[in-house]
Amino acid sequence: MRVFKFGGASVNNVERISKLGDILKHYSEEKILIVISAMGKTTNALEKVVRSFYEGKKDEALKAFDLIREQHLTMAKQLLATQYPACEKRMKDFFTEAEWLLYDKPQREYDYYYDQVVCTGELLSTSIISFYLNEIGIANKWFDVRDVIRTDDNFRDANVDWEFTSSKVTDSIVPLFSEHNILLTQGFIGATDENESTTLGREGSDYTAAVFANMLNAESQTIWKDVESVMNADPKQFQDAQPISELNYNEVIEMAYYGAQVIHPKTIKPLQNKNIPLYVKCFLNAALPGTKIHNRPLHKLPPIIVLKENQIMIEMSSKDFSFVGEHHVADLYRLLGKIKIKPNLTQNTAISFIAVLDDRIEKIEKLALEVSEIFDVQVMKDLTLLTIRHYNKEIVEKLTKGKTILLRQETIETMQILMKQ
Ligand code: ASP
Ligand code: MG
């Protein structure tokens, strides 16, 4: 049994969806659970619908929702013939489910509405693709993942109820495999015990796939992407980025921590716990080797580069030249926790504490305001934080050439440099 995940970019047009069909033809004898995201930028578009709705701009929200409806109906028409009426019928249920909320006035918290509306993206994409695959002879069974993945009501970042979900998987999903080779469902979404929809955090479909891989004891999980494999740097920032053929779970967790947008960080734990290998493959060319991620130590990794732009450095110095002691540091961390902002780098001297943070303006203002009671606060903006795992002298020189270095920290494995252009 394998688990496949296809992201939004792999299902954003007719050609790509038919590619998905081609890939599955190679696995016709296997049992596969397929997890799919919303098409293309649908999640962003649905987010806008919710924002308009919550700001009281009902017409704008309904208009934007209508556009999403039309796009999906058009996609279904392009892909389907005999199966179109059945698909349209199911899609209409999902449109109605979201719309009856949008016609009302917001009464509950924003995040609740977000989840009720945004989950539509995955429900629509999986419906269209499931009907399409059935129509071209790739028999599959679609299911609503909200009947299986039970979460708490922490809307927009819901936590999976592991016990309930895993007994659901055993009782209702495992038996489906005796009748079907391919099961197909939504990533990113779940439901509470009151049947309210929830979402697991942006890009959460990788995680959904890992939850299923774990609970079904899959032999592997594959994430099909529009890039050839995991790269040692973001190819949009570095033209000479290189593919990496092998990684281990720890390295991926570290990369995600420093800001590499490779795989949703929550994905790793469920796989690591059962030692299930994770493959990242290119759906545009399945013959490419991709990346294999496993649990074994690796000795020779290339330098892995993560560049975080838009950083700010906030320096907090004691007003009376007293040392920054443990109680100050503890207070500062408590405050960072309260504001929910993670420092990307910290350093302290006798009388000052430095934190490098993403420039999230409301959060930074709150932080600066609160600490200014005890400290003098200085903020520097528009900085870049460079992280290099497995660094060497040449690469550090190359990447810092001509830059002003404000702060530099290193361990044996990782170097972090805060720079100004
Ligand atoms: N559709 C969701 C998002 O765009 C989940 C995902 O793609 O994994 O964040
Ligand atoms: Mg996505």
* Residues 43 and 141 occupy one common structural domain: yes
Residue 209 Cα to ligand 2 middle (Å):
13
Q: Is the CB of 12 under 6 A from ligand 1?
A: no
Q: Is the pLDDT of residue 421 over 90?
A: no
Q: How confident is the model at residue 328 (pLDDT cuts 50, 70, 90)?
A: confident
**Dihedral sign (CA 250, 254, 256, 262):** negative
* Residues 199 and 318 occupy one common structural domain: no
* Residues 205 and 347 occupy one common structural domain: no
* pLDDT reported for residue 336: 93
pLDDT in tens, 150-204: 999 999 999 999 999 999 999 999 999 999 999 999 999 999 999 999 999 999 9
* Residues 323 and 416 occupy one common structural domain: yes
Q: Is the CB of 38 under 6 A from ligand 1?
A: yes
* Residues 310 and 201 occupy one common structural domain: no
CATH number, domain of 370, equals: 3.30.2130.10
Residue 321 Cα to ligand 2 middle (Å):
49
* Residues 11 and 118 occupy one common structural domain: yes
Q: Is the CB of 204 under 6 A from ligand 1?
A: yes
Q: Is residue 402 part of a domain?
A: yes
Residue 124 Cα to ligand 2 middle (Å):
15
* Residues 318 and 177 occupy one common structural domain: no
Q: Is residue 269 part of a domain?
A: no
Q: Is residue 248 part of a domain?
A: no
Q: Is residue 250 part of a domain?
A: no
User: 394: Cβ–Cβ under 8 A, 6 or more apart, which residues?
Assistant: none
Give the integer Cα–Cα distance in Å for 311 and 419: 9
Q: Is the pLDDT of residue 321 over 80?
A: no
Q: What are phi and psi of 285, to 5 degrees?
A: -150, 90
Pocket test for ligand 1, best of 11, 35, 37 (most atoms within 8 A of CB): 37
Q: How confident is the model at residue 88 (pLDDT cuts 50, 70, 90)?
A: very high
pLDDT in tens, 339-380: 989 999 999 888 899 999 999 888 999 999 999 988 999 999
Decide if 82 contacts 98 (C-beta within 8 A): no
pLDDT in tens, 246-289: 999 999 999 999 989 888 889 999 999 999 999 999 999 999 99
* Residues 219 and 317 occupy one common structural domain: no
Give the integer Cα–Cα distance in Å for 39 and 10: 8
* Residues 208 and 328 occupy one common structural domain: no
Q: Is the pLDDT of residue 135 over 80?
A: yes
If one counts the domains in the chain, the total is: 2
* Residues 112 and 220 occupy one common structural domain: yes
Q: Is residue 332 part of a domain?
A: yes
Q: Is the CB of 121 under 6 A from ligand 1?
A: yes
Domain that residue 360 falls in: 304-420
Final residue in a domain of this structure, among 199, 226, 253: 226
Tally of CB atoms within 10 A around 154: 14
Q: How confident is the model at residue 329 (pLDDT cuts 50, 70, 90)?
A: confident
Q: Is residue 156 part of a domain?
A: yes
Q: Is the pLDDT of residue 17 over 90?
A: yes
Final residue in a domain of this structure, among 226, 252, 279: 226
Q: What is the 3-state secondary structure (H, E, C) of 230-262?
A: CECCCCCCCCCCCECCEEEHHHHHHHHHCCCCC
Final residue in a domain of this structure, among 226, 255, 286: 226
* Residues 171 and 34 occupy one common structural domain: yes
Question: What is the atom index within ligand 1 of the atom nearest the CA of 8?
Answer: 7
Q: Is residue 370 part of a domain?
A: yes
* Residues 327 and 198 occupy one common structural domain: no
Q: Is the CB of 43 under 6 A from ligand 1?
A: yes
Q: Is residue 220 part of a domain?
A: yes
Residue of 50, 65, 62 lying closest to 111 (CA atoms): 50
